[in-house]
Amino acid sequence: MEQRVLLEAKNLVQEFPAKNRKKVHAVSNVDLTIYAGETLALVGESGCGKSTLGRTLMNLIPPVSGTITFEGVEITKLSKKEFAPYRKQMQLIFQDPYASLDPRMTVRDIIAEPLEIHKVYPDKESTTQKVKELLQQVGVPEEFIYRYPHQFSGGQRQRIGIARAIALNPKLIICDEPVSALDVSVQSQVLNLMKDLQKEFGLTYLFISHDLSVVKFMADRVAVMFLGKLCEIADTDSLYAKPLHPYTRFLLDAIPKADPRNRGRNKQLLQGEIPSPIDVPGGCRFHTRCPFATDRCKSEEPKMRQVEGHMVACHFAEDLAK
């Protein structure tokens, strides 16, 4: 069955001013498609532009250039009033459950805020009843509705953040490292909750993470990002079984393995520092850290192309696939 495109980005560029009239090249000519009902993971090292890309896709930060299409409508050129109905359809789960909730507001007011802004219900009583239902759906007792954020654990706070995100029945939720600040035991509970809510409400997730073990559990497809550019996109099973970009291989080799028999065996770890997003290297942006790099990699930027079902930006992907 053909998948329905929910959001599509073309040639997306996001830059920020830096000193000496230079620019931070946070996102560079990214093409990305998100299908309805799927979980697409966006992975890469810290500072590669994952969170910036997520916020740009939501139009929270207008892109410098490129287009974003949501359900067939280009949203980058809409006025604030024209964009308002689409804002309801795209929500965000933040990384830090401690900083993302206003400490001066009760749980009731935190979750009710988007409902009241968009005037979903005619009166306060109806809104409060909806908040109680949302709390039940995320596993927080409704009698805690008038408590403040400091009275909850980190896992409970993230559940409240999830309740706020689903309050408007969105179609797309950007999950920005939603469990990285939580204990491992709590992470699995929150991830299972997110999967259950996805099935119940038909949600689509863009799941931003640096934890590839979490990504393997959550994602249908994975997009790998390095220094503002995508270097490989594939379905999760294929990517983990046979990564075709050297950077993807290094990321997978960095996953801790519990089997002591394989300790350090056949593993390669990345050497050197990530190049600056202000002074990005020419050619392939990964060539300064890639053991397979040649003179071609230094001078010619690889284009995204299909190799064995993967979209990969590497001149030598076919050789690595052998």
Interatomic CA distance for residues 268 and 264, integer angstroms: 8
95 in a domain, yes or no? no
Does residue 156 sit in the same domain as residue 241? Answer: no
Do residues 46 and 62 both lie within one domain? yes
Task: Please give the pLDDT value at position 268.
Answer: 66
Asked whether residue 177 is domain-assigned, the answer is yes
Q: Are residues 251 and 182 in the same domain?
A: yes
For residues 78 and 125, membership in a common domain is answered with no
Q: At which of 168, 196, 217 does a domain end?
A: 168
Do 210 and 285 share a structural domain?
A: yes
For 137, counting Cβ atoms within 10 Å of its Cβ (0-12 exposed, 13-18 middle, 19+ buried), the class is middle
Structure confidence at residue 107 (pLDDT): 97
pLDDT of 319: 86
Same-domain check for residues 214 and 283: yes
Dihedral sign, CA of 18, 279, 232, 246? Answer: negative
Q: Do 68 and 7 contact (CB within 8 A), yes or no?
A: yes
Question: For residue 98, is it within any domain?
Answer: no
Cα distance between residue 40 and residue 302, in whole Å: 23
Q: Where are the beta strands (DSSP E) in 90-130?
A: 90-93
Asked if 289 and 192 sit in the same domain, the reply is: yes
Based on the domain organization, do 198 and 297 belong to the same domain? Answer: yes
Mean predicted lDDT score pLDDT of the chain = 92
Q: Is residue 120 part of a domain?
A: yes
**pLDDT (0 to 100) of residue 265:** 47
Instruction: Verify that 161 and 230 share a domain, yes or no.
Output: no
Burial (CB count <10 Å: 0-12, 13-18, 19+), residue 53: buried
pLDDT digits (tens, 9 = 90+) for 103-151: 999 999 999 999 999 999 999 999 999 999 999 999 999 999 999 999 9
Last residue of a domain, one of 168, 196, 221: 168
Question: Is 94 part of a structural domain of the chain?
Answer: no
Same domain, 76 and 179: yes
Residue 153 structural domain: 107-168
According to the model, what pLDDT value does residue 92 have?
Answer: 95
pLDDT value of residue 254: 82
Domain-embedded: residue 137: yes
CATH of the domain at 64: 3.40.50.300
Within-domain flag for 17: yes
Residue 307 within any structural domain of the chain? yes
Residues 80 and 134 in one domain: no
Given a cut of 50, the residues of the chain with pLDDT beneath it are: 264-265
Domain boundary among 168, 192, 221: 168
Domain count, the chain: 2
Q: Tell me: do 204 and 257 sit in the same domain.
A: yes
Edge-first strand order for the sheet with 73-74 is 23-35, 5-17, 65-70, 73-74
